[in-house]
Amino acid sequence: GFLRSLYFKKIAGKHKFEKYLDAGCGSGEYAFYLAEMDSEVSITAVDINETAIELNKVIQEKMKIKNIKFVQKDLAHITDMQTYDFIYSICVVLYMTAEEQREIFANFHNALKSKGLLFLYLTLKDWEKMRLINPKYYLKMYEGTKEHISGYLYTKEELQKVLREVGFEVIQ
C-alpha cells in the first residue's frame, strides 16, 4: 500500500481538479487525504459496503470535513454524465468478472468530463514479474494471493485495449 499511496499522491498533486469520484472508497483514506489537502474540492466517495459508508460518515463528522459526500452504491450503477475531473479506483475491480469490469470502465468514461483523468490501480495478470525485492522472498510473502482475487486479471496490454474500447485514451 505504501508505494500505491505515493503514486496516488504524485498524480493527485500534479493536477488541480475540482470534482473527484472515489470509486470503491472502502475506509475512505484517499477521500480524506484529498479533502484535507484542499477544502475547496468536491469528493463523492462510493462503496457497495453500507457499513464502510456509515463508518466513514462518523469519521467525517468527527473530523469536521464538509467536502466529501459518502454514498452507498454499486459501481455498476454509476450513471453520472461528464461530472468528474478525476476518478480513482484502487484495488476494487479485481474482484469482478471481465464483463462487470468493462461495464464499470464504461460508466467511469461516461462520468468523466472530457479532459478528466482516470486513476486505476489494480493487480495485473503478470503481477509476479513486477517486484522490487528478491524473488525468493517476494514469492513466499505473496503465496496464495492470487487465490484471494476472485475477479478477472488483465495483462497490461489487455487492460489498455479494453479501456480504449470503452472510449479512454491511455496515457500511462
With cell 513466499, the residue in question is 140
Q: ∠ CA(76), CA(67), CA(14), 5° rounding?
A: 80
Backbone angles phi, psi at 43, to 5 degrees: -125, 125
Question: From the CB of residue 128, how many other CB atoms can be counted at a distance below 10 Å?
Answer: 13
Residues ≥6 apart with Cβ < 8 Å to 166: 102, 105, 106, 109
pLDDT tens profile 74-115: 999 999 999 999 999 998 988 888 999 999 999 999 999 999
Q: How high does pLDDT run on average in the chain?
A: 86
| Strand 42-47 relative to strand 19-23, pairing | parallel
